[in-house]
């Protein structure tokens, strides 16, 4: 009996070392909200082109990404938010070796290192796709929300990035991340709730460069679910904005966001039977949003125009 429980305890740890995985709820459940005790990743997308990545650096899983190998951008990244840690930006970019060859190691690695093992990198974006494209490598799981320095370092993988309009990235989206961090701190962490975030994009019709390999998102969105110690959802919400020159970002309830994203995704993905997208498996519907009825982040805070990618 004792031996069995030791084995059971060790099992999840060893599974965490696989990078491209079959099931988030088995391999890296810690990055997803657990409303009503159920590990609840977003639902809706099916098919071989989509891969689940437990984003691993130095043998530690730091967050999770659901990746589209055809459009070569993530659909979403999921993480737990524990407060602002003031991490240093490394700007050392990685890619995912296991998207090219399942036998390669569990850790994200630099493109040049992967090229020593793989002749053609076909299932993900590479640095050249973004070079001179006039788009930022926009982070989904943001550096700014990272739970530790190593987590911050791990956000610099192209599998966590999608082409983002630079003024949107450094303007409205940046302010949304900042506003969200404040409200997660005040309404979740400071009152003893645990905060889970999913951030994603909707692919648009265009690609980086003409007939390029990488789709440009039409929208960026983000959603959060805060749970109490009994796994009851107490607070949730979402934001969405168009990926264009400093377009506004709008607040939504999780329920409305599920409906809107289902419509938006249906326009780009025609052949997924019975497609219905849900952010937290449809379980974090709360109508308790004291704050942001009017967010639409229109504050006049100065925008740092230095060459950064959020
Ligand atoms: C919350 O749900 C997770 C996932 O099922 C479980 O591991 C944890 O024990 C639950 N917490 C409580 C207090 O039931
Ligand atoms: C990469 O994509 C190719 C072409 O779609 C596919 O045949 C191959 O299995 C993929 N590699 C991995 C490791 O998923």
What DSSP string describes 17-60?
Answer: T-SEES-HHHH-GGGS--GGG-----B---STTEEEEEEEETTE
34 lines ligand 1 (CB under 6 A): yes
The residues lining ligand 2, judged by C-beta closer than 6 Å to any ligand atom, are 99-102, 122-123
25 lines ligand 1 (CB under 6 A): no
Q: Is 160 exposed, middle or buried (0-12, 13-18, 19+ CB in 10 A)?
A: buried
Q: CA–CA separation, 210 vs 199, rounded Å? A: 27
211 lines ligand 1 (CB under 6 A): no
Name which residue sits closest to atom 6 of ligand 1, judged by CA: 37
Position 16 scores a pLDDT of: 42
Low-confidence ranges of the chain (pLDDT < 50): 1-16, 290-310
Name which residue sits closest to atom 14 of ligand 1, judged by CA: 230
Position 18 scores a pLDDT of: 55
pLDDT tens string 245-260: 989 999 999 999 999 9
pLDDT tens string 131-149: 999 999 999 999 999 999 9
Position 271 scores a pLDDT of: 83
Name which residue sits closest to atom 8 of ligand 1, judged by CA: 37
Q: What is the DSSP string of 199-221?
A: EEEEEEEEESSTT-SSEEEEEEE
Position 295 scores a pLDDT of: 46
121-139 burial, b for 16+ CB within 10 Å, e for fewer? bebbbbeebbeebebbbbb
* Smallest-distance ligand from the CA of 70: 2
* Smallest-distance ligand from the CA of 72: 2
Label the pairing between strands 73-81 and 233-242. Answer: unpaired
């Amino acid at each position: 009996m004792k031996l069995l429980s030791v084995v059971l305890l060790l099992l999840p740890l060893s599974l965490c070392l696989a990078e491209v995985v079959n099931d988030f709820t088995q391999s890296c459940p810690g990055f997803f909200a657990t409303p009503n005790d159920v590990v609840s990743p977003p639902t809706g997308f099916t098919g071989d082109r989509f891969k689940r990545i437990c984003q691993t650096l130095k043998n530690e899983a730091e967050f999770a990404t659901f990746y589209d190998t055809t459009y070569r951008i993530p659909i979403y990244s999921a993480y737990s938010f524990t407060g602002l840690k003031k991490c240093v930006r490394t700007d050392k970019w990685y890619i995912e070796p296991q998207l090219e060859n399942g036998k390669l190691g569990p850790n994200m690695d630099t493109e040049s290192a992967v090229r020593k093992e793989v002749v053609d990198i076909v299932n993900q974006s590479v640095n050249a796709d973004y070079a001179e494209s006039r788009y930022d490598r926009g982070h989904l799981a943001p550096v700014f929300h990272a739970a530790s320095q190593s987590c911050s370092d791990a956000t610099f993988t192209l599998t966590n990035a999608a082409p983002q309009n630079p003024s949107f990235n450094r303007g409205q989206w940046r302010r949304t991340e900042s506003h969200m961090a404040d409200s997660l701190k005040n309404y979740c962490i400071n009152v003893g709730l645990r905060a889970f975030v999913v951030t994603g994009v909707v692919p648009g019709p265009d690609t980086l460069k003409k007939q390029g390999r990488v789709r440009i998102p039409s929208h960026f969105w983000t959603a959060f679910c805060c749970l109490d110690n009994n796994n009851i959802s107490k607070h949730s919400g979402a934001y969405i904005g168009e990926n264009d020159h400093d377009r506004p970002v709008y607040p939504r309830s999780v329920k409305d966001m599920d409906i809107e994203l289902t419509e938006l995704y249906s326009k780009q993905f025609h052949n997924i039977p019975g497609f219905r997208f849900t952010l937290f498996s449809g379980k974090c519907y709360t109508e308790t949003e004291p704050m942001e009825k009017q967010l639409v982040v229109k504050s006049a805070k100065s925008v740092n125009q230095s060459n950064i990618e959020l």
